[in-house]
Amino acid sequence: MNLTLRVWRQKNSDDKGRLVDYAAKEISPDMSFLEMLDVVNEELVKNAREPIEFDSDCREGICGTCSLVINGVPHGPERGTAVCQLHMRKFKDGATITIEPWRAKAFPIVKDLVCDRSAFDRIIQAGGFVSVNTGGAPDGNTLPISKPDADRAMDAAQCIGCGACVAACKNASAMLFVAAKVSHLANLPQGKVEARERVLGMIAQMDKEGFGNCSNQSECQAVCPKEISVDFIAQMNREYLKAGH
């Protein structure tokens, strides 16, 4: 396959940035999207041009590091798939592909296609945990949890923290990310003790980081590589109301 890439290049957070065209030649349809970029970068380096910086690590869809907007869609055209698992067979030979970073005030761009998502860590630090110290936990089976509850908690807990939900939302809202953690723990008895402090703390931090409000358009769910449901946003809202706000 031969493709034209229009890639966002930005030297650092102060730079204005622009789209630059690159040719991707002799691409195998079996390559992942990131491997295609690897090939382009190898060519750039061989020609003494600085490679395109983009984030990735596990390359199997679970670490949440990769973060590209492809033709306007975070993680690209395949549903339920992080960009590291998107393969070139999903594109047509000769296509032009536009590649941009996540865009949100709370995710400042570091370089090219890499942005700073530390806001997510600070939201978790504001309450996204159960306050148990190591040691002294009771036997794992002393607290039976119904299978549907455990499954529902797991559905929410699958979030990989990539931030595609924010990138897809016109309000750059982090509601799906926050809701996933709030709901994961709210669906389990272990998390109920601190449910109030958790939802209040995490939402306050979310607002402080500059994320917007829910747009109610479910764009987040549509691009989530783990297909986390917006139902969890409803659950978070209920938790928030229960908390007395």
Site residues for other proteins, 97-156, by CB under 8 A, read 110-111, 114, 116-118, 120-121, 124-126, 128-135, 137-141, 143-147, 150, 153-154
Of residues 19 and 143, the one with the C-beta less far from other proteins? 143
Of residues 58 and 216, the one with the C-beta less far from other proteins? 58
Among 128, 146, 159, 121, smallest CA distance to 239 is for 128
Q: Which of residues 19-48 bind other proteins (CB under 8 A)?
A: 28, 30-32, 34-36, 38-39, 42, 45-46, 48
Which of 70, 73, 160, 233 binds other proteins (CB under 8 A)? It is 160
Stretch that binds other proteins, among 52-60, 170-178, 211-219, 235-243 (CB under 8 A): 52-60
Q: How far apart are CA 4 and CA 213, in angstroms?
A: 36
* Shortest Å, Cβ 19 to other proteins: 19
Of residues 115 and 230, the one with the C-beta less far from other proteins? 115
Mark out the alpha helices in the chain (DSSP H runs): 33-46, 118-125, 147-157, 164-168, 175-186, 189-192, 195-208, 219-223, 231-242
* Shortest Å, Cβ 124 to other proteins: 5
Which of 1, 9, 108, 157 binds other proteins (CB under 8 A)? It is 157
Which residues, in sequence order, are CB contacts of 195 under 8 Å at separation 6+? 185, 186, 239, 242, 243
Of residues 44 and 243, the one with the C-beta less far from other proteins? 44
* Shortest Å, Cβ 236 to other proteins: 16
Q: Residue written as tokens 């065209």?
A: 21
3-class state of residue 11 by DSSP: coil
Contact between 7 and 25 (Cβ < 8 Å) = no
Q: Are strands 96-100 and 3-9 parallel, antiparallel or unpaired?
A: parallel
Among 53, 203, 67, smallest CA distance to 123 is for 203
Told to check if 93 binds other proteins by CB under 8 A, we report no
Of residues 169 and 188, the one with the C-beta less far from other proteins? 188
